[in-house]
Amino acid sequence: RQHLAISTSSHPFASSSTYPFSTLTNHIDHASTFAHIGSGGVVVSADGSTVVAGAKGDDTKVIDSGAYLMWDAYPSPVCPSGYYGVHCHPCPSECPNNMTCQDGYFGQGCVCPPPFSLSSALTCNECVAGYFGQNCTACPNCGEEGYCDDGRSGSGKCNYIVRFN
């Protein structure tokens, strides 16, 4: 099994661990997703080939099998599939209450499927803003002066603000 070792103090994967080559390269290459990995430098090894990039290095370095490492002074956050958040926490094997794991650097872990939102009882039985009723149906466009009676117990009817001069 191929592994990549990443060494940099500012990247979410910074540690003495190694990560499966396929896990990292999925986020570095094939989907046109490029990783900008920290300004402290990075050492990447795969099957004996090593690429060393410094903060003033080339824009793109070929690593292996069509994988590319993009480099600049402003890191773009990346987590592999199945990991989420700024510290790339692993997604749980199962999320409760019909939730799914929203992975990626900006992912939030277990989340309700849209257009549902988490209730105070930690279940997916509320509607996000702009949706109403038991099935969380999209509200109609109420225009600039109106607002929708949204929420799980909302009617979906438009309410309007009456202004007096």
Amino acid residing at 144:
E
* Per-residue pLDDT tens over the stretch 68-116: 343 333 345 678 889 988 888 899 999 988 899 999 888 999 999 999 9
Residues 61 and 23 in one domain: yes
Q: How many CB atoms lie within 10 A of CB 29?
A: 19
User: What pLDDT is recorded for position 77?
Assistant: 67
Residues 137 and 152 in one domain: yes
| Model pTM score | 0.47
Residues 47 and 20 in one domain: yes
The one-character DSSP state at 91 is P
- 123: helix, coil or strand? coil
Q: Which of 99, 96, 95 is nearest to 111 (CA)?
A: 99
d(CA 12, CA 34): 15
Q: How many domains does the chain have?
A: 3
Residues 29 and 14 in one domain: yes
Range of the domain at 128: 113-165
Residues 125 and 157 in one domain: yes
CB within 8 A of 112, min separation 6: which ones? 97, 98, 99, 118, 124
* Per-residue pLDDT tens over the stretch 5-50: 333 333 344 333 333 333 344 344 332 233 333 333 344 433 333 3
d(CA 88, CA 103): 8
Joined together, the tokens standing for residue 3 give 């592994």
Residues 53 and 99 in one domain: no
Domain for residue 142, yes or no?
yes
* Per-residue pLDDT tens over the stretch 112-150: 999 999 888 888 999 999 999 999 999 999 998 899 999
